[in-house]
Structure formats: structure tokens, C-alpha cells
Chain A
Amino acid sequence: MTRKQRRLITIGSVGAVLVLAVGLILAALNDQIVFFQGPTDIVEKDLPLGQRMRLGGLVEEGSLERFEDSRVAFKVTDGANTVAVTYQGILPDLFREGQGVIAEGELIGARAFNADTILAKHDENYMPKEVAETLKKQGVWKGNE
């Protein structure tokens, strides 16, 4: 094998792996990323049903209901709009009414959301960054930042 051939093979293989990696990343970015939306986004943007997304906001006071088999329903609000969320499973330790929450799942109606993951963060004072910004946008929360 000549030096030139070797170089060609090197470049070829590096290129192949590169194409593979970039392809994988692009494909994954296309399908697997999840957008973050606030209740107002959901109401105003007319998002398609069934699309995966993260919904963030405050758990509305007094909206939490519990049903059989660890099913829960609650409302997420940003002050301006409200979306009803259903979820089956164990809520995180820090899930509270009036506190920030992020729900991941899909839209099942104009203002209805079915979550398969609920995130509440591990610090009482902590407001998930996205939630804080959404709420600030709606003028609900005046955090100490």
C-alpha cells in the first residue's frame, strides 16, 4: 500500500465516522429534543396534539386532586393561563401547590396535558430556570435575582 492510499483510507474512515456521528446527532436533535412551553404558549400557539413537550409553571393552589392508583390531576398556571395536567405515578418530594413544577408529556386537548414525568427541584427556594422566566414574562413572579 502506498503512502497516498494510506492517507486516503485514513481520511475516508475519519470522514465516515464523522458523517455517522453528525448524522446521528442531527437525527436525534430532530426527533428527540423536547421544547419547553408555558401555559400561555400552549394556549396561544395552538400546538399540535400528541407532541412531546415540557410544560412549566406554578401548581395552582387548591387544584391538586388524587385518584385511585396514584393518579393525580392538577393545574399549571403562569398567572395568565392555566393548563390541566394528569399524571400517574409518584410525585416528587418537593411537589407542592403554589410551587414551580415542570411536567413532561404530551398535549391531549386544547388545555389538557398528560404528563409521564414530573420534575420538582431539590431546593425549596429554587425555581426551575425556565419556569422562573415564564412567570417573569407573565409578571407573576418577582424572584430575587
Chain B
Amino acid sequence: MIAELGHFALILAFVMALVQSVLPMLGAVKRDARLMAIARPVSIHMFLMVGLSFAALTYSYLVSDFSVANVVQNSFSQKPLIYKISGVWGNHEGSVLLWVLILVFFGALVGAFGSNLPAPLRAATLAVQAWVVSGFLLFILATSNPFERQLPAPIEGNGLNPILQDIGLAIHPPLLYIGYVGFSITFSFAVAALILGRLDAAWARWVRPWTLLAWVFLTLGISMGSYWAYYELGWGGWWFWDPVENASLMPWLSGTALLHSALVMEKRDALKVWTVLLAIITFSLSMLGTFLVRSGVLTSVHAFATDPQRGVFILVLLCLFIGGSLSLFAWRAPLLKQGGIFAPISREGALVFNNLFLTAATASVFVGTLYPLALDAFDGTKISVGAPFFNLTFGPLMVPLLLVIPFGQSMAWKRGDLLAVAQRLYAAMALALVLALVMLWSWGADNILAALGVGLAVWVMAGSVSELWSRGKFSSVGPLKGIRRIVGLPGSAWGTAVAHFGVGVTVLGIVSATAFQTEVVLTMKPGQSVDVGSYQVTFDGLSPATGPNYIEDIGRFTVRKAGVVAGTMTPSKRVYEASRMPTTEAGIMTSGVSQLYLALGEIHQDGSLDIRAYFKPLVLLIWLGCVVMAIGGGLSIMDRRLRVGAPTPSRRRQTSSSGTAGTSTSGAGTSTGAGS
């Protein structure tokens, strides 16, 4: 009965989404308060219904109800509890349901917390959100129904892909989905504003916290996914330019651009057309990512659905939403009024620069991801576009972006003074240069690129610190007051500095782990030792072990540094009972933010085994930097300015900056450019 109720709740949610798609939109266009009034409660109720349905599916997994086909295909009675839960979204049907759950969750958030929005905009936004919800619920009900029954029920399920039996998977897709589905709200806002014909500074201000929220989750999701691949796949790499990874990177890049351009729109009423276009593009890329992953067009680590019927269905949805919104854009955008003007050297100019490079980078990832597919479809030639392509295109596009971050965030709105900004950044510049030269001197000229990379990372970090520092105006107000000034800076100012600092941290991790890593591949006999970086790794032997649902061979290694035992490592090879599939569990030893990484290969008859060992200096900074970026985003969301807008006079005490002073989250760069 619970499974059937879940099914019914899902259908009810679909029917409500249809109502929500039509009535509030009609109300917003015709200015009818009653039609608009249903949007908020319905958005919340829809979330409850999809939530109920998701809970019902989870229940079926928990009690191993093998009369539900989805449970039979993806679960196993002896599976550990945590994987029964993560199994709910570890398959095609469940993951699309999760996708929709997050979609309606964001709708409900706007319904619940959007009291500062004008009624027509809110109603229209929720209606557009409901269009997307209806589309994807129809997709679920028509092609991927998780509540299909299998009667009579078999007594045992078919298990779950063991590579998906991992704690990282339990957290990874929900986070990633929250990120890229979150951009649906920005999309809905943009389409609603185009329909209502109202796009101005106030709109940008209402949209920005939602964009930030989605961006924070996507940042965390991507970094967690990267860490998962790093320790689970046993290849020692942390980013593979796999199409599925690219599918999440593209919305992140354009979402980052959107964050920055919405700022210009909010402060100066400029870049309107561009911002709306970015909002549409960002969610379109999210949907494209969903399509790539779910349709089976690509085959990669994450692609567990291959069903042409589903692929075509999502493709049609995709064309409908993307094509429809872009046509609407083309029709309505020319009606927008020109906004404020600004000099090329200004905060706005810097943000335009940021946008140019971020979109160019998005485009390069887009081409690299889709070109092979297009070529295959066009003349059947099969090519693979791998890391070298992206290193050559993405890398050079990132360098100027990073170079100008410190300038950009220090620049004044409207007209900036490059010389004054440069003077403030002397210390950061000097620090970066000195460090780069020291690196060059100690590592030799061969590592010139690495040294420059380190310098760049330090430049970005030091630039952020120096920006905060200069806000303290210590020279004029004294140390105590200066500190108070810095602490009292608005959340968005802190957010900017912290997020940009995080960018520097990640860059430092990437440069260091790439340029200075040590890799050793060899066959080891028990008792044999090998040097990896400054560590000495000794292979003590192999021992078998049994886990809850797998058997494994654990390699025991003792790690010494300068003769002193630093620890033991136990990488293993597992075979899962349900599917007889082997996986590699890497052994990782962390010291500071550097890691020693061991992965087992073939185990030979004589007890020797192949191992792959890496020493990756500062590798943890890659992910820590992402966390710092997310914290920066969070600080920005917390800025009370963003919650302003409701006509409540009690909101009198916001901290913070103004329409023109340079204090909010910003992007990079000097460069040229004028408003759109």
C-alpha cells in the first residue's frame, strides 16, 4: 500500500504541477490576485507530495519490498543499511525522482521565503518552475516509473553496482543535483521576467540569493564528486574531463559568470540582456548535463542508464525548454531599456572581463564535450577528446581571469583608478613574485610553469587578504578601529574576499599536486621497500578479509619517513558478492594537506603484487579551496541586503554597502567594456 501511495502522490504532484503551470501565470499576466494566490501553497504542497513519494520509495528499499521492480533491480536483502538508502537514487528512476524532488524543493523555497517578491513575479516564476516540474514528472511517469510493480515478487534482488556502494555516492548526487537543479529557479525567474516584461535592478537583487545558493551547493557537489573519483576509482587523478564531470562544470562556469553579471545588473541596471541570457544558458546546461548522463548518449563511469526511448524523451524536453526560452528571449530582449553606463576601467568593466573569459571557458568545455558526439553522429568518425584538449583550451583562458581577480575586486564602480588599485596591491604582487622566483630557483628552470602557477595562486590569495586589509584603513583610523571596521564589513564583502581566496587555494593545490607529484608503478614482493617522495613504503604482506557484502585482499604497508615509522596503509582489492565485480580501494595517508596514495593492481601467484604509489603534495588544497569558495558564497547569502525588498519598515538596521560603493561580491579584472 505504501508503494502504491507513493505512486499516487507522484501522480497527484504531476496533476498539481499542470494546474500550477497555467493558473498563476494567467493570474500574473491578467493581474488577478486569486489566481496568483494559489502559487505559493501549491508549490509547497507539490514538494510534500513528491517528498512523500520519495519517502515511499525509500521505505520500499529499506524493507526490501521486492514487489517493486526498481527495488528488485537495484537492491539486495543483505545490503548494508546505508547503501539501501543510497540505492534509492543510485539508479536511473530513483535519481530522476531525486532530481524532481530537488526541483520542487526549490519551488517550495521560493513559495515559503519569497515574501519579499512582488506577487506577479513570484506567481509567474513558480508557474515557470511548474512547467519544468511537469515536463520531468511526465518523463518519470511515462518512461522511468520507479513504482512499477513486479508481481509475483522474487525473493531476492539483483544487487547494486558495487562501485556505487560507497559513502561518497550517498552524498554526491544529492549535492550535485541541489547545485545544478538549483539554477532552475534562476531560469524560472528569467523566463517569468521576460514574460512580464520587467527586468531591472530590483529583479537582479531578488534573483541573486537563489543563484548564490545553487552555486554554493554545486561548488560543494563538484568538489565532493572529484574527491570521490580520486579515492574510489584508484587512478590517483582528481579530475578526468569525463563528460559527466564536464556536465557539472559547465553550469558551474556559467553560473559563476551569472553571479557576477547579476551584480552589475543589481548595482548599475546594466548588462540586463546578458544576465538574462546567462540565467537561461546556465539552467540549459544543467538540463543538458542531465540529458547527457541520463540518456546514455555518453558512456562513462556514471552513466547507468542506456535506453534510447528515455534519451529521446529528455531530448524533446530539452529542446522544448531551451528552444522555448531562447525564442522568448529573442522576442522580448530588444524591448529592454539601456541601463547605466560605465568606463572600461571600472568594477563593471572587470565583471564584463570575468564574464567574457568564463563564458569562453564554458564554450571550450562545451565543444570538447559535445564535438565527439556531433562528429560521431555526423560521419561516424570516433574521436576522444581528453585532458590535453582541455589543458590547452581551458587552462590559458583561466590564467588572465586569475590574474585580474585582485584588481577587479578592488576597483570602484563606474570609473576605476587602475594606478591606485595597483598601489594597494603592491604587497600582494611582491609576495607572489618573490615566491615564484624562490620556486624557480629551488626547482630549476624546467618547472617554470609550476613556479608561475604558484605565483598566480599566491597573487590571488594575497590580493584577497590585501583587499580586506585596505578596507580597514589602518593608517587613518588606527589598529583597533581598523579591525572593527574589517569585522563590521558587510557579508558580501567578506564573501567576495573569502571566495576569491578559495580560488587561490584551489589553484595552489592543483599546481602543486600536478607539477610536484611523485608517481611509482612497480611489482613488490613482501618485505620489499620503495621510495615515494620523501617516504619509504614497505610491503608487509597480503591478508584476506570479509566485509558485510564483499571479500577483499588487503595489502599491508608500513610507511617510514627518514627511518621513523609514520603509519601503516591498507589499500585493498574488493570483490562484491552480489555481482562478482572487483573494485580497488585506494589507501590514503594524509599528512598536513599532502597525501600518500597507494592503489593495488594485479596480485600474482607468488604473493607479489603490482602497486601504484603517488605522493601528492598539497593535494587536499584542491578540495579545501572549493570548501572555502562555498563558505564565501554562504557569507554572501547571509548578507542581509539580499533579503531586503519586502515592504517591512522593521528592516532598518542592515549593515552594509550601497548602490555604488565597491563592497559586494564581485569578479575579476580590469580590461575594457561598456554596458550592454
Q: Give chain A's interface residues, CB within 8 Å of chain B.
A: 1, 3, 6-7, 9-10, 12-14, 17-18, 20-21, 24-25, 27-29, 31-36, 54, 66, 68-70, 88-91, 93-94, 104, 121-124, 126, 128-130, 133
Given contacts A6-B674, A18-B360, A89-B521, 14 further A-B contacts (CB under 8 A): A10-B673, A13-B356, A21-B364, A28-B368, A32-B385, A33-B384, A34-B384, A35-B382, A70-B522, A90-B521, A90-B601, A94-B582, A123-B161, A123-B304
Flag the segment in B145-153, B458-466, B549-557, B573-581 that touches A. Answer: B573-581
* Docked complex Cα distance between A88 and B284 (Å): 42
The answer to whether A28 and B389 touch across the interface, beta carbons within 8 angstroms, is yes
The answer to whether B521 and A6 touch across the interface, beta carbons within 8 angstroms, is no
B196 within 8 A of A: no
Sorted nearest first, the 5 A-B pairs with minimum C-beta distance are: A90-B601, A36-B382, A21-B360, A6-B674, A32-B388
The answer to whether B584 and A93 touch across the interface, beta carbons within 8 angstroms, is yes
Contact A21:B674 (CB < 8 A) given known A34-B386, A122-B301: no
* Docked complex Cα distance between A1 and B414 (Å): 13
- Closest B residue, CB atoms, query A94: B582
B642 within 8 A of A: no
Residues of chain A with a CB closer than 8 A to B580's CB:
124
Q: How far is the CB of A53 from chain B (nearest CB, A)?
A: 9
B654 within 8 A of A: no
B480 within 8 A of A: no
The answer to whether B392 and A121 touch across the interface, beta carbons within 8 angstroms, is no
12 A-B residue pairs with Cβ-Cβ distance under 8 Å, sorted by A, are A1-B343, A1-B344, A10-B344, A10-B673, A13-B673, A14-B673, A21-B364, A35-B381, A91-B601, A94-B581, A122-B163, A122-B301
B558 within 8 A of A: no
* Docked complex Cα distance between A20 and B522 (Å): 43
B382, B397, B579 pick with most chain A CB within 10 angstroms: B382
The answer to whether A93 and B523 touch across the interface, beta carbons within 8 angstroms, is no
* Docked complex Cα distance between A123 and B302 (Å): 10
Contact A21:B388 (CB < 8 A) given known A90-B602, A128-B299: no
B610 within 8 A of A: yes
Contact A93:B583 (CB < 8 A) given known A33-B385, A122-B163: yes
The answer to whether B382 and A24 touch across the interface, beta carbons within 8 angstroms, is no
B367 within 8 A of A: yes
* Docked complex Cα distance between A63 and B577 (Å): 28
* Docked complex Cα distance between A62 and B582 (Å): 21
Residues of chain A with a CB closer than 8 A to B383's CB:
33-36
The answer to whether A69 and B602 touch across the interface, beta carbons within 8 angstroms, is no
Total contacts A-B at CB 8 Å: 136
Q: How far is the CB of A26 from chain B (nearest CB, A)?
A: 9
Residues of chain A with a CB closer than 8 A to B331's CB:
none
The answer to whether B397 and A129 touch across the interface, beta carbons within 8 angstroms, is no
- Closest B residue, CB atoms, query A130: B382
* Residues of chain B in range 561-589 having any CB-CB distance to chain A below 8 Å: 573, 579-584
Q: How far is the CB of A15 from chain B (nearest CB, A)?
A: 10
* Residues of chain B in range 152-169 having any CB-CB distance to chain A below 8 Å: 161, 163
- Closest A residue, CB atoms, query B673: A10
B357 within 8 A of A: yes
* Docked complex Cα distance between A104 and B386 (Å): 11
- Closest A residue, CB atoms, query B162: A122
B517 within 8 A of A: no
Residues of chain B with a CB closer than 8 A to A31's CB:
388, 392
The answer to whether A90 and B599 touch across the interface, beta carbons within 8 angstroms, is yes
From DSSP, what is the main secondary structure of chain B's interface residues?
mixed
* Docked complex Cα distance between A45 and B257 (Å): 46
The answer to whether A24 and B396 touch across the interface, beta carbons within 8 angstroms, is yes
The answer to whether B582 and A32 touch across the interface, beta carbons within 8 angstroms, is no
Q: How far is the CB of B241 from chain A (nearest CB, A)?
A: 11
Q: How far is the CB of A132 from chain B (nearest CB, A)?
A: 9
The answer to whether A129 and B299 touch across the interface, beta carbons within 8 angstroms, is yes
- Closest B residue, CB atoms, query A90: B601
The answer to whether B344 and A29 touch across the interface, beta carbons within 8 angstroms, is no
The answer to whether B386 and A90 touch across the interface, beta carbons within 8 angstroms, is no
Within the complex, which residue of B363, B367, B602 is in contact with A91, where a contact is CB–CB below 8 Å?
A: B602
Residues of chain B with a CB closer than 8 A to A24's CB:
364, 392-393, 396-397
Within the complex, which residue of A10, A29, A70 is in contact with B674, where a contact is CB–CB below 8 Å?
A: A10
Residues of chain A with a CB closer than 8 A to B360's CB:
17-18, 20-21
Q: How far is the CB of A145 from chain B (nearest CB, A)?
A: 8
Residues of chain A with a CB closer than 8 A to B602's CB:
66, 70, 90-91
* Docked complex Cα distance between A93 and B364 (Å): 32
B538 within 8 A of A: no
Contact A25:B393 (CB < 8 A) given known A70-B523, A93-B573, A124-B580: yes
Residues of chain A with a CB closer than 8 A to B385's CB:
29, 32-34
B485 within 8 A of A: no
Within the complex, which residue of B381, B581, B583, B674 is in contact with A7, where a contact is CB–CB below 8 Å?
A: B674
* Docked complex Cα distance between A32 and B601 (Å): 29
B144 within 8 A of A: no
* Docked complex Cα distance between A20 and B394 (Å): 11
B239 within 8 A of A: no
Q: How far is the CB of A134 from chain B (nearest CB, A)?
A: 9
Residues of chain B with a CB closer than 8 A to A33's CB:
371-372, 383-385, 389
Residues of chain B with a CB closer than 8 A to A93's CB:
234, 573, 582-584
* Docked complex Cα distance between A25 and B223 (Å): 26
Contact A126:B299 (CB < 8 A) given known A21-B393, A33-B383, A94-B582: yes
* Residues of chain B in range 77-119 having any CB-CB distance to chain A below 8 Å: none
Residues of chain B with a CB closer than 8 A to A90's CB:
521, 599, 601-602, 610-612
Residues of chain A with a CB closer than 8 A to B573's CB:
93
Residues of chain A with a CB closer than 8 A to B581's CB:
94, 122-124
- Closest A residue, CB atoms, query B308: A145
Q: How far is the CB of A17 from chain B (nearest CB, A)?
A: 4
The answer to whether A14 and B356 touch across the interface, beta carbons within 8 angstroms, is yes
Residues of chain A with a CB closer than 8 A to B393's CB:
21, 24-25, 28
- Closest B residue, CB atoms, query A67: B523
The answer to whether B392 and A32 touch across the interface, beta carbons within 8 angstroms, is yes
The answer to whether A70 and B521 touch across the interface, beta carbons within 8 angstroms, is yes
- Closest A residue, CB atoms, query B396: A24
B341 within 8 A of A: yes
The answer to whether A9 and B364 touch across the interface, beta carbons within 8 angstroms, is no
Q: How far is the CB of A126 from chain B (nearest CB, A)?
A: 7
